[in-house]
Amino acid sequence: MESRLIQISVIIPLLNEEESLPELCEWIESVMKKNHYTYEVLMIDDGSTDRSWEVIQQLSRKNPAIKGYRFNRNYGKSAALQTGFQKCCGEVVITMDADLQDSPDEIPELYNMIMSGRYDLVSGWKKKRYDPLSKTIPTKLFNWATRIMSGIKLHDFNCGLKAYHHRVVKNIEVYGEMHRYIPFIAKWYGFKKIGEKVVQHRPRKYGTSKFGLERFINGFLDLLSITFVHKFKKKPMHFFGTLGTLSFLLGFSLVTWLIVEKVYNIYWAKTPIHRDITEHTFFYIALTATVIGVQLFLAGFLGEMMVIYSDKKNDYIISDTTPSAQS
């Protein structure tokens, strides 16, 4: 088994957080020294337009445990987390936001929960929040829907403060805007020991939130997407093929019924006037269902081909790194 040189990796995705970074890093360093942890801090600059990268460089020169990675543009939080997961080398991985609303004082207990062997992943629960109702009510609805769809009993899926065993982050893949559903993704990859810890939610000290109400709409759409993708990504024919077969059978059955009805009227009922099959409304419904069925079946077939021959790769371009990140 690969040996681990450090105990904790702290991954911090950030966008325009120049004011909070020195205080956050000082706080993390204090916690690590107090508990005698070996650690690294990976700061992923997601295309900041302020002085965040200059601040990261300064902090890295003072403390080599701080490693900086800078994207050439804004890719999103999921891309930043995925890059951190790829670069980190700690036995336990902690993710937190850069805005000082997550407390580094939570790290020791999160670390112990993972190292106890009881959990693969521990998600923070900001039970008492310092957010307006316009944010807390949609959050509650979002978490309720995610619990129903995922079957994971967590209160706060989107909390940035989470702890992972290194096996989790080295095997899952986070893309798009799927960072909200990392517990869901981990479960699909077989990491089912998922726990929760009540954590402190601190008022924002610097700057403003980078997320608006549109994230809740996008969140529900992403939930539907991830449910579909993780259920059928390796077997698209099971979804499209089933729907296609049912649609084709519906169309075929309707056409058969129209033909049987016409033959019956001609040879047995002796009806003097016979409408052409193409004059029936059901004929066009049957034709549409048959065509849709064939298209869905072909979509499933092409999906199977793409799954077999696809070779995915990340396109997140890191334009710069601190010297500590190059070692």
Q: Would you list the domain boundaries of the chain?
A: 6-233, 236-309
> Pairing between strand 121-125 and 90-95?
unpaired
51 Cα distance to chain centroid: 28
Half-sphere exposure of 187 (CA within 13 A, CB side): 21
CB of 25 within 8 A of CB of 59?
yes
CB of 182 within 8 A of CB of 159?
no
Q: What is the pLDDT of residues 139-186, one digit of tens each?
A: 788 788 888 878 888 988 889 999 999 999 999 988 777 888 899 889
Q: Residue 3's pLDDT is what?
A: 46
Q: Average pLDDT for consecutive 10-residue bins of the chain (327 residues)?
A: 73 95 96 97 95 96 96 92 95 95 95 95 86 68 81 88 96 84 88 93 69 61 68 72 88 88 76 72 88 86 65 60 75
Other Cβ atoms less than 10 A from the Cβ of 44: the count is: 27
Spatial distance between the Cα atoms of 141 and 109, rounded to a whole number of angstroms? 29
The strands making up 66-71's β-sheet, listed across from edge to edge, are: 194-198, 121-125, 162-165, 90-95, 6-14, 39-45, 66-71, 318-321
User: Smallest Cα–Cα separation from 76: which of 160, 14, 162?
Assistant: 14
Q: Residue 180's pLDDT is what?
A: 85
Q: Which residues contact 28 (CB under 8 A, 6 or more apart)?
A: 10, 39, 41, 104, 107
Q: Which CATH architecture has domain 6-233?
A: Alpha-Beta Complex (3.90)
No. of helices (H) and no. of strands (E), the chain: 12, 8
